[in-house]
Amino acid sequence: MARYTCSFIIAVPLERLQQVLIEVLESCNFDIIYNTGDYLMAREIPGHVSFAKLVTVEVLIDKSTATEQEVRMNFVIKNEELPLQVDNHCHQMFHQVQQAIAQNRHWQLVESVAG
């Protein structure tokens, strides 16, 4: 199973975070399948790759340390594909999500840590 993690601190009003995050994931070809307010799960829309390569994104929004202007988000991006190549489909989607978050004009990226 391919699995990539990263953490972001974003400068954005907390009340706008959910909508902007959903828009970012949808722009990366993900469909939101579960949303509780502090946890979000999205799955890649089928049709471009085999079922085993479909990527799932889990986002944990750390509201316990959030301020009115900054919030930490932890991402897990994974699929059932064995990561036999460095540049596998899951890694490509991981990179796409990282870029979309870093370049979004609705917030400011304060810190990014990939694990």
Of all residues in the chain, the percent with pLDDT exceeding 70 is 100
Contact 24, 101 (CB under 8 A): yes
Asked whether the predicted pLDDT for residue 47 surpasses 90, the reply is no
pLDDT of residue 50: 87
pLDDT of 28 > 80? The answer is: yes
Helix axes 14-27, 89-102, angle to 10 degrees: 140
Q: What is the mean pLDDT of residues 56-79?
A: 93
pLDDT exceeds 80 at position 115: no
**Structural domains of the chain ordered from first start:** 2-114 (3.30.310.220)
Asked if residue 75 lies in contact with residue 7, where contact means CB atoms within 8 angstroms, the answer is yes
User: Does the predicted model carry a pTM greater than 0.85?
Assistant: yes
Rounded to 5 degrees, what are φ and ψ at 96? -65, -45
pLDDT reported for residue 104 = 92
CA distance 38 to 72: 11
